Amino acid sequence: MEIANHNWFWFLLPLCLGALGLALFTFGRDRKDLQRLGAHHLVLAPGMAWARRLLKGGLLLTGLCLIFLGAVRLQGKPLPEDLDLRGSDVMIVLDLSKSMLTQDMVPNRLEAAKKALLSWVQNRDGDRVGLVVFAGEALVQVPLTMDLEAVSTVLSRDDVDAVDRGGTDIGEGIRTALSVFDKDEKAKRGKAILLLTDGEDTDGATNLGAACGEAEKRGIPIITVGMGTRQGRPIPDGVSFWGEPVYKQDGAGNVHVSRLDEKTLQEIADKTDGLFIHGDSTENLSGIDGAFNKLQKSEMKGKGAVRRRELAPSLGAWAVASLLLSGLL
């Protein structure tokens, strides 16, 4: 059981408890009054009279409690929804390196990317979506699934601490996403990778060209979304003892300015027959949908988001029955 409307619950609960307390007090007082009147032979069968009042009041309280439970939307056991939709498979590859904390987007690159993705995922009915995150290494957080709510939940909690090894290895992120497609038996279903990063690969990273070559060979386009600006800004690296912001420095001790590497992201998109999108505005990010609408779609049956059974209609019917019986007694 679960309560969906917590605001109404905390508003109505004191009223219900107050009504219950008043009813118990009234039942006790009526019993004493009936016993006193019965002792003076003013009421016949005081026990039966009190039992009738108790039953009538109990039915009234039951009806009110059922109305309360319906108002707060008491829900039953989870029921997964069967889906039979047409769509394609998309692996999101999200950069979680420290450079994504750069504040040349509002409030920073990572939060702007997550906001765009959360909005995009909500409109992907029929598609299976998965999530890979990377920095100096990559990991699969969500395999391909039609449960878009699960993808959104995991995505909303992602931060730069989700990946242990620092750095930026775009090639490893792409290769990890491709390995997820390897496990899929629906070969005719359209596939694509949605890569969100600032494009800055670090030294010692996996061969990006080889990863793109593998995607090209398998016919999987990569839609690259560049997070950041050409001018760039320093990468935040905590605060000093005095509370002043500290920025990441290079090997020479100079403050490192992180800039969007458009050239690399454009090359990735061109080599895999994908598309490069500037992620610096909502208007540009809306172009993601157009790129994926061109993918081959196939029918897919599966389980959608798990929803709980609404008990309010049944509770309302029982409440009406209890109140009617109370009025007839």
Give the model confidence (pLDDT) of 159-168 as tens digits.
999 999 988 9
Length of the chain as a residue count: 329
Indicate the average pLDDT of the chain: 83
The string of pLDDT tens digits covering residues 87-108 is: 889 999 999 999 999 999 989 9
Stretch 28-44: mean pLDDT, rounded? 71
- How far apart (Å, rounded) are the C-alpha atoms in residues 284 and 269? 16
- How far apart (Å, rounded) are the C-alpha atoms in residues 135 and 127? 26
pLDDT at 318: 86
183: which 2 tokens?
Answer: 């496990």
pLDDT value at 119 more than 90: no
60: which 2 tokens?
Answer: 């009234």
Those residues whose C-beta lies under 8 Å from the C-beta of residue 252, and which sit 6 or more positions away, are: none
Stretch 215-242: mean pLDDT, rounded? 91
Residue closest to 128 by CA, chosen among 265, 309, 295, 276: 295
pLDDT at 319: 84
Stretch 211-237: mean pLDDT, rounded? 93
Of residues 123 and 165, more confidence is placed in 165
- How far apart (Å, rounded) are the C-alpha atoms in residues 127 and 173? 21
pLDDT value at 63 more than 60: yes
pLDDT band at 265 (very low <50, low <70, confident <90, very high): very high
pLDDT at 198: 94
- Distance, first Cα to last Cα, the chain: 32
Of residues 11 and 191, more confidence is placed in 191
pLDDT at 282: 61
- How far apart (Å, rounded) are the C-alpha atoms in residues 117 and 227? 12
- How far apart (Å, rounded) are the C-alpha atoms in residues 237 and 241? 13
